[in-house]
Structure 1
């Protein structure tokens, strides 16, 4: 249950306006100002070309800094852990500007002696800005310029919300305590915020102490009491938020939507809907096509070696489960003397006697997976996603691991989040397979194009190290 609650979203909690002011306006303004300063130092006119660059840099940094800020509000930064994300965010901005500059053919309009110091020096200025932001928000907290919040109901969801409020000081929310009709002795362990009273005491406490936010975390069975509290809170100025008890479930891409004007909440959905579906497919086609063209000579050499060293076909075809649990045919260079695809499939193990003369090398270097880029171009697979398992393995593990089939809400991938976390190759125990599934589901929750690129980079690193592949 704790693993489930670790993935609870932050319901209706937005970054503080001061923090967003820094990220959306002040820091982008610093980016532009620093560019202007360098041009003055170099005695270059801040011409129309630099104005175009400044505008693109402002909006790119405003968007990227603001979007990433919501994911990086954690407390207690230690050593360089809070500095590294700043450099990563700036590299993303530079990458966006580089792509725009290439597409618009703007490279020749700027001098190296201005662009290089700007690119190198800006993140250090952003570090100073981040430190200034922390000091400002600390002063605001000291002066009490923060919102007050209470939680109605003591249960796993409300305890996790309290933990999040403590973990994200940039939200500028001070949790005063809980209200619950249950006795103190019946509260779950870990309740470190005081119990202030019963539900009947909420409205009076809100008025007396100027509470800004009320979070209601009660089961649906308590509807009459909840409705009474909400009715009483209408006589206050507090904002009221409801934390539905569906958060006890394993949520995947949970979000609110509207069907014919009626609000519904999705609790288990693929991340690839709308524009995300287009972005994912476009990136797959572009990357797979480039990789295929680059590695075509290598694939021809491998095909000749496979044919020359053992009897049988060059390509091994195996049935796997794809998107929505539908069967697909996955291609690999044959690395074994057998071609198992029946009701029982034995995983490859270290020192497996079924390997061909070059099979061990192909599997350890992952070169046997190269034909799967054709699967990507066909639309059966993606470059990054949960690794497809043999149909026989799926039928076995879906009965033993809860949520196993949720990994099929997306297309299977050539590499995945589980593989770059050390779960590549053989999964000889149920615990290892369960751990792999946890990482697959985490990928569904966290997906972004940047996350995909990060997994690809980590995959290349692991392939070069040749870990856990037999």
Structure 2
């Protein structure tokens, strides 16, 4: 009996991340925030002889502000250097400005502040490049690569397969595609294996220990998708749907939720979320500066 997937039960967003089980991804989330925090601790132990409350509170605040860290594992070396230096200059400038305005900067020695300002970006750079050097070892510790198949050979499915193949830090490998169309109708320029028809997927998953299935089928093929999902109910593989993004101009596409209902943003105003807050704060600060300069 085919289940009705057209009206799934409403549930809260589980924030599923495709890379959540990648040890490099999880390490990067904590790496730079931890470096910023521990470098401040090191300065505290060196200058104060211990971790005083003021240093501890500041370190926790800094960790909270900088977590999670953006991924830099794929960046060129010069971009990593530029990103870290500019980000640190902005963060340090904001922290120092806040300390001067509130007077809390008096709780810290000028010598300790100068040392921390120079020590932290150096440690960040060393940590990022050390992680890159040890990436292959970390991936080996994580275990064998996950086995992936793709249902439907189209532009987005091929793009995904190429990404998995050419990504040196991927924890998954693409075994091939399942497609109902004749081979001569497919644009298989890279020669990806065609493992069978869509009806063969369920049996293939069971016999070949497949971990992940990507459904790269046109959204208009709802009956085929529903039938395929029903056939895969008794497998242990994770199933993800690749949206047919090439039907639209997907400029800022990302997943979100409205009161627990999953939605996909196709094109979003640049002044939303954190960007809206930054713009508002910038307007206020600039207005105050202009009023101060114009006042007699």
Q: Deviations over 1:244-274 (max 9, x none)?
A: 2244311243344556765444423323345
Contact 2:177 2:195 (C-alpha < 8 Å) held by counterparts:
yes
2:51 maps to which of 41, 46, 56: 46
Match of 1:59 in 2: 64
Q: Supply the distance in 1 between the matched residues of 2:255 and 2:48 (Cα, whole angstroms).
A: 53
1:216: Cα distance to partner? 0.7
Say whether 1:138 aligns with 2:136. yes
Q: Supply the distance in 1 between the matched residues of 2:271 and 2:129 (Cα, whole angstroms).
A: 37
Q: Supply the distance in 2 between the matched residues of 1:216 and 1:58 (Cα, whole angstroms).
A: 38
1:73: Cα distance to partner? 4.8
1:32 maps to which of 37, 56, 59: 37
Q: Helix, strand or coil for the counterpart of 2:79? A: coil
Match of 1:176 in 2: 175
Classify 1:100/1:285 alpha carbon distance in 2 versus 1 (closer, same or farther; 3 Å): closer
Q: Helix, strand or coil for the counterpart of 2:80? A: coil
Say whether 1:93 aligns with 2:91. yes
1:217: Cα distance to partner? 1.0
Q: Helix, strand or coil for the counterpart of 1:82? A: helix
Superposition pairs of residues 306-345 of structure 1, within 5 angstroms: none
Match of 1:353 in 2: none
Q: Helix, strand or coil for the counterpart of 1:221? A: coil
Q: Supply the distance in 1 between the matched residues of 2:132 and 2:203 (Cα, whole angstroms).
A: 34
Contact 1:73 1:168 (C-alpha < 8 Å) held by counterparts:
no
Match of 1:455 in 2: none
TM-score, with structure 2 as normaliser: 0.77
Q: Deviations over 1:24-81 (max 9, x none)?
A: 4344333333323233334544211111222122222323x2xx22xx453xx54433
1:215: Cα distance to partner? 1.1
Superposition pairs of residues 407-426 of structure 1, within 5 angstroms: none
1:240: Cα distance to partner? 0.8
Structure 1: stretches of 5+ with no match in the other structure: 1-10, 298-470
Match of 1:110 in 2: 108
Match of 1:240 in 2: 239
Cα root mean square deviation, aligned: 3.3
Q: Helix, strand or coil for the counterpart of 1:202? A: helix
Match of 1:156 in 2: 155
Paired residues, number = 279
1:108: Cα distance to partner? 1.0
1:221: Cα distance to partner? 3.4
Classify 1:288/1:165 alpha carbon distance in 2 versus 1 (closer, same or farther; 3 Å): farther
Contact 1:157 1:248 (C-alpha < 8 Å) held by counterparts:
no
Greater shift in the superposed pair: 48-57 or 178-187? 178-187
Contact 2:156 2:216 (C-alpha < 8 Å) held by counterparts:
yes
Match of 2:11 in 1: none
Say whether 1:229 aligns with 2:234. no
Classify 1:93/1:173 alpha carbon distance in 2 versus 1 (closer, same or farther; 3 Å): farther
Superposition pairs of residues 220-299 of structure 1, within 5 angstroms: 220-256=219-255, 263-273=262-272, 276-287=275-286, 290=289
Q: Supply the distance in 2 between the matched residues of 1:122 and 1:258 (Cα, whole angstroms).
A: 37
Q: Supply the distance in 1 between the matched residues of 2:222 and 2:46 (Cα, whole angstroms).
A: 67
Q: Supply the distance in 2 between the matched residues of 1:230 and 1:163 (Cα, whole angstroms).
A: 25
Q: Supply the distance in 2 between the matched residues of 1:203 and 1:128 (Cα, whole angstroms).
A: 47
Classify 1:183/1:78 alpha carbon distance in 2 versus 1 (closer, same or farther; 3 Å): same
Say whether 1:213 aligns with 2:208. no
Q: Supply the distance in 2 between the matched residues of 1:199 and 1:12 (Cα, whole angstroms).
A: 26
Classify 1:169/1:244 alpha carbon distance in 2 versus 1 (closer, same or farther; 3 Å): same
Greater shift in the superposed pair: 118-127 or 189-198? 189-198
Structure with the larger RCO, 1 or 2 (CA within 8 Å, 6+ apart): 2
Match of 2:9 in 1: none
User: Whose Rg is larger?
Assistant: 1
